[in-house]
Structure 1
Amino acid sequence: MAGFYTSQSLSVDVGDDPMKEDLLLLLADQRALLEIAVAGVDEEQARTRTTVSELTLGGIVKHLAHGELDTADMIADPDPDAQFDLSRLDDEYTLGESETWAATLDEYAAATRRFEEVIAAAPLDAMIPQPIAPWAPERVWWSVHRLLANRIRETAHHCGHADIIREALDGQTTMGVLSSGLSF
């Protein structure tokens, strides 16, 4: 689709829903930009901090994988009593000693497939209860459309982080790769 940085197609059938198709293609484009940012990174590089932030490429991919799975589960099996598990935040953005970069990439790929399958099957106007958390003490309900838009925003947000981390790591930039004529 014109207007994206990368050439994407959907891996799921969304029927006759151009809005869902456009949103999933935009998410696929952002994911492809993330893939460019982490392409060729080894285990050590995936764990390396290159800025004053605690973020690493591995931590970003892990976080995005969890976000995709959590959102897919939330849509597929809504829980009107859900509460955010704060203990997850302890290692959400880091690769633990028992976690590998390769497994994290595989987890992200599986999470993106699961998310797309759930979105393909869900009506965009379905209302999903959101977990209560310290930053959201009152229960709110979001549409699947809003949850999908939020995944796009979250992925784009972290693509920028990944690009900065990667540039500081070895000089590679996503736009530099795209400008060189490589296609993803």
Structure 2
Amino acid sequence: MGDQLVMDGAAASGPPVTGGERADLLQTLRLHRGFLRQTVRGLTDEQAALRPTVSELSPGGLIKHVATTEKSWARFMVGGAAAMQSDAPDWENGFRMVDGETLAGLLAAYQRVADETDELVATLDLDAAHPLPEAPWFEPGARWSVRRVLLHLIAETSQHAGHADILRESIDGSKTMG
């Protein structure tokens, strides 16, 4: 399979990255993106917008959130906290589908973000680092390297793929694995 993961018909595009740490990071991120995409495969827009648990999470909302988060961290990798914060997050609607959004549209937007991130992974210095934005959940004065951001994106994507799997099973009994 090389450095291309094909899951749910979505192949990661961008420059091929072969061998070494960079390829490992990219392949792992692509794998977990694929799990998340696979989890929502076959859902209608109505199902993707459902919140079948007491949380605000919906499958489509998770796709939206992960895409928005990845895009924000990609900006950070290039330009630091100021670039990351160039778009104010929509905290109210960031985890749910709103009128006019479709699962297909959210998945297409996620693919565009993924392609842009993959391009950065292929070209940026993994040791380049920026101070984190000021926030209660970050240690004051901490800096993250591109490598650390990629590890965070892998963890974030993996965690939300698990959330999506629970939601999917609650909606129609389907399971991503098994």
Which of the residues 35, 40, 43 maps onto 1:41? 43
TM-score (ref. length: structure 1): 0.82
- Tell me: CA distance 1:139–1:88, structure 2 relative to 1, closer, same or farther (3 Å): farther
Counterpart Cα distance in 1 of 2:71 and 2:114? 8
Counterpart Cα distance in 2 of 1:85 and 1:6? 31
- Tell me: CA distance 1:82–1:152, structure 2 relative to 1, closer, same or farther (3 Å): closer
Counterpart Cα distance in 1 of 2:56 and 2:119? 32
Structure 2's unaligned 5+ residue stretches are none
Which of the residues 161, 164, 167 maps onto 2:166? 164
Matched, 1:14 2:22: no
Counterpart Cα distance in 1 of 2:120 and 2:136? 27
Deviation sequence 1:60-91 (CA, Å, 0-9, x none): 00000001111111112224696697763222
Task: Pick which of 59-68 and 120-129 moved more.
Answer: 120-129
Corresponding residue number in structure 2 for 1:140: 142
- Tell me: CA distance 1:82–1:69, structure 2 relative to 1, closer, same or farther (3 Å): closer
The 3-state SS of whatever aligns with 2:53 is coil
Q: Please report the RMSD computed on the Cα atoms of aligned residues, expressed in angstroms.
A: 2.7
The 3-state SS of whatever aligns with 1:27 is helix
CA drift at 1:134: 3.4
TM-score (ref. length: structure 2): 0.85
